[in-house]
Amino acid sequence: MFKFVIKLNRIRPEISRTVYVPQNFKFSDLDDVLRCVFGLSHFHLSVFTFPGLNTYLWDFDKTYPDVRALDMNDIPIMDYMGLFRKFSWTYDLNKSYVFTVNLRKADKKFNTDYPFVESFKCEYNPIEDCHPIDFEEMYYCTLNNIEFPDYLPDFEMEKFSLDEVNDKLRK
């Protein structure tokens, strides 16, 4: 199993999840896991990028030909983990929620063929279709029991449930 610590960039206080993923997964599987653990849908495009590498992995339908893009459905995670211990995952290329994905040494052995969340920081998920700047302010207001200002979008803050997410990942 690979152990990843995934952190949403530029949001305070920190929103992160520690996730174990089977070593035979492809990047498309990791994309599904990340969407699940942060409560995000498959409505928006996402992309993996790697420091110093002039290519990226995304789940594309071949309508956007780009010589620098590789299809994440074809690439096993194992192929990149020897080269990179840290990379980025961007969800919603328009609003751009950017996450840093850090590979950590798995301190325990697990005998499962499915991913799971071991731990998390922050009981809230990012909000679909909400700009990260607005989400950060809504997050601050929620944590401090402050009413949302009128200029913020009318979204509900979704709570993260470790048990519910792990149940989804098991299926």
- 20-70 per-position pLDDT tens digit: 999 999 999 999 999 999 999 877 888 899 988 877 777 665 555 555 677
How many domains does the chain fold into?
A: 1
> Tens digits of per-residue pLDDT, 67-90?
567 778 888 999 888 888 999 999
pLDDT at 171: 86
Tell me the sheet residues that pair with 17. 6, 120
Ramachandran assignment for 2, one of left (phi > 0), alpha (psi -120 to 50 degrees), beta (any other): beta
Kind and range of the H or E run holding 137: helix 132-143
Q: Which residue has the tokens 């789940």?
A: 59
Q: Which DSSP string corresponds to 154-169?
A: --PPPBP-HHHHHHHH
Q: Where are the beta strands (DSSP E) in 72-115?
A: 86-91, 97-104
What residue numbers bound the domain in which 67 lies? 2-170
| CB contact at 8 A, 1 and 21 | yes
Q: What is the pLDDT of residue 57?
A: 79
CATH of the domain at 134: 3.10.290.30
pLDDT value for 27? 93
